[in-house]
Structure 1
């Protein structure tokens, strides 16, 4: 038997994901945004929130078709039959504030304490990085978002910049900030520092090696490992037994690890120089070699971007044609992504020896979409099923153990029929063997 809310609230669900975004949480977000006592309309505010979340699951169709999916399994339940215009007015009337409040309620590393890869030597492994997303080229959006310059000299879609703080073990989003690309990544990254905690170690790419950001993270009492440019001047103050050395950035005492990473494939051998700066000073507890291996976990944030932009959105442009609508849609996308990730984390956490990297996000997304159409498990019962239908499908379709591979870093639009950087780029992914050499600096 399908259990749903009564009357006009019946379409308010996202299938089994409703367990992670329950009615009470949505109502609390609406109340925080000042919409808790608004009159009940043909499409109530709570239902509009779930419509937006379901819209993130079905990026390929319009909101009227999303509505059809929400009510597909509600035969015998009297529900509204709103037009596209009515749904558009409801979304506009709501604005982005409730979705922002809902994101604040669901964001975080997730309740999966045993997840492999989440903790490293007692520290929660996180990463900060940024990406961009395309928005419609409407007049309203063009007033706030800058068009992307194309290779042929013209302009493409306007872009927004999105920065996230991700838990690497579960790829759940701890915090996110976004806005126009006219603002660089560094100002956005500084706003994420408020979400850091002393039990975290944050992994950062070279773009985030600025002294003021490093000092801000240290002041938040979180630890960091950041890659810096090879030619950056870092004085050798003291050499340490593991090959690393102590130095300073501004007034902050740091430790530097220099290494060479060799990647061997059937196509040849490549060597890359890595220079890592960390506030983990104690070399006895945090050896240089282990820090280099830890830094590889930074790529989990890149995989999260892949899941958001390619797996969920399918490489498509966002729908909203106003800046307020864009903010509303992005928060809905983040909440929906987080709910799927929480369902996956609950499932993999039931098997402590299971590497969460083997859980397939595409499988979880497909299951979530099916359960929306079926209106399945929309309300949790007295006994909460931590695995659920999504988790069972994920556990039944685990991916093989992750292999060490090397692939070219090129831009690939999921729905483009054109090659990204010319026809002569080798796009083959090779199995690889990686070796690491710690480089010992000269004596101070």
Structure 2
């Protein structure tokens, strides 16, 4: 039997994911932002919030088709049949404030996610930016410009820059900010870092190796591990004291830091590639945080790249955002982040129910399609007693765990060209290879990791 809300509120659900964003939570957010309806319409504000979240699960569909999926499982329940124009007016009437408030309520690692992403007592997170495309409308162009130049002449759509902090391992969103691409990642990062939780170890790429950002991080009682350039354009890091593990003490941005220089070799059947990497960290104790362990940990920074792939490829499918106004873009991006976050929460609840299961083994694609099916069937909207903490989505994730991650390398190139012409030349090797990694540090040990047989 389908169990949903009564009357015009019945289409307001997200299938089993409703348990992650229950009716009471949505109503509280609407009351806080004063965006609830003054009278009960065919499209109450709570229903419109769920419509926006469902729109992210079905990113390839228009909102009229999304509505049809919300009501598909409500057989025997009288529901409205709003036009596309009515759905547009309802979204505009709601505005972006409730979605902002809901994201602020849901962001963070969550208590169930705290274990898998900690390293030596620190919550390991990564910061990075990406770009999204907005609809090519006059209203959007007034705020979000197109990118000019490049080999293809620039972008065909207005672009926005999204910068997030994500917990590694569970890949949950700690915080996010977005805006026009005319501002760089480090500009947006200042706002994020000012809200950084204490006890975090933040991993970042070379773009974030800036003294003023490090000062903000340490001011939040958090730690930073960032890669730095090694050439003439890199920061000056004088050797103040050489440590036994090969690292040395220095100063950066007026703050005491530790510098780790490592030679990393990747060997595959296609050959061997060796590179010199320099890491800067505020983890000064070489006994508590050995240099070799830090170098290996830094690889976790790639978790945020995988998270962006899940958002932009798995959810959006490379599509342009629907909204044709800046307020609509604000609303839609927050809905996208919320949907990603609650999917991740459902996945991590499942993997933590089986001790020793790495969250990396949970398939985002399995979770996404399971959630879509539950919406269409209006299943699991109201939790049974006792509450099923895993649910249908979690069981499908556990039944289809990915294999243990192996050490592999793949060239960072376009694998399938956007056009019929060759992308970056005809002779690029796009194959994936199993690899052996060797780590060599001055005055330190040489460690080798081989692929599984």
TM-score, length of structure 2 as denominator length: 0.94
1:340-382, Cα deviation, whole Å (9 max, x unpaired):
0000000000111111111100000010000000100111234
Question: How far is 1:435 from its partner?
Answer: 1.3
Tell me the equivalent position of 2:131. Answer: 132
Question: How far is 1:251 from its partner?
Answer: 1.7
1:427 aligned residue (422, 425, 430): 430
Change in CA separation of 1:113 and 1:107 when aligned onto 2, cut-off 3 Å: closer
The answer to whether residue 365 in structure 2 is matched with residue 366 in structure 1 is: no
Tell me the equivalent position of 1:354. Answer: 357
Tell me the equivalent position of 2:44. Answer: 44
1:134-159, Cα deviation, whole Å (9 max, x unpaired):
11111111111121235232542111
SS at match of 2:376: helix
Tell me the equivalent position of 2:344. Answer: 341
Tell me the equivalent position of 2:85. Answer: 85
Aligned pairs (5 A) from 1:317-336: 317-336=320-339
Q: Is the 8 A contact 2:210 2:253 kept in 1?
A: no
Question: How far is 1:250 from its partner?
Answer: 2.6
Q: Is the 8 A contact 2:16 2:381 kept in 1?
A: yes
Tell me the equivalent position of 2:119. Answer: 120
Q: Is the 8 A contact 1:18 1:378 kept in 2?
A: yes
The answer to whether residue 258 in structure 2 is matched with residue 255 in structure 1 is: yes
SS at match of 1:285: coil
The range that moved more, 282-291 or 22-31, is 22-31
SS at match of 1:88: helix
Kindly report the root-mean-square deviation, in angstroms, between the aligned alpha carbons of the 2 structures. 1.6
Tell me the equivalent position of 2:97. Answer: 97
Q: Is the 8 A contact 2:125 2:166 kept in 1?
A: yes
Where does the alignment leave 5 or more consecutive residues of structure 1 unmatched? none
Question: How far is 1:170 from its partner?
Answer: 0.5
Change in CA separation of 1:9 and 1:349 when aligned onto 2, cut-off 3 Å: same
Q: Is the 8 A contact 1:316 1:415 kept in 2?
A: no
Tell me the equivalent position of 1:158. Answer: 158
SS at match of 1:146: coil
Change in CA separation of 1:418 and 1:201 when aligned onto 2, cut-off 3 Å: farther
Tell me the equivalent position of 1:274. Answer: 277
1:1-52, Cα deviation, whole Å (9 max, x unpaired):
1110001000001100000011111111111211135321110100000000
Question: How far is 1:401 from its partner?
Answer: 0.7
Tell me the equivalent position of 1:313. Answer: 316
Aligned pairs (5 A) from 1:4-43: 4-36=4-36, 38-43=38-43
Question: How far is 1:197 from its partner?
Answer: 2.3
Q: Is the 8 A contact 1:128 1:164 kept in 2?
A: yes
Change in CA separation of 1:42 and 1:418 when aligned onto 2, cut-off 3 Å: farther
Question: How far is 1:305 from its partner?
Answer: 0.2
Aligned residues: 440
**Hey, what's the Cα distance between the residues in 1 that align with 2:385 and 2:20?**
15
Tell me the equivalent position of 2:406. Answer: 403
Change in CA separation of 1:4 and 1:317 when aligned onto 2, cut-off 3 Å: same
Tell me the equivalent position of 1:391. Answer: 394
Q: Is the 8 A contact 1:315 1:414 kept in 2?
A: no
Q: Is the 8 A contact 1:200 1:223 kept in 2?
A: yes
**Hey, what's the Cα distance between the residues in 1 that align with 2:420 and 2:374?**
32
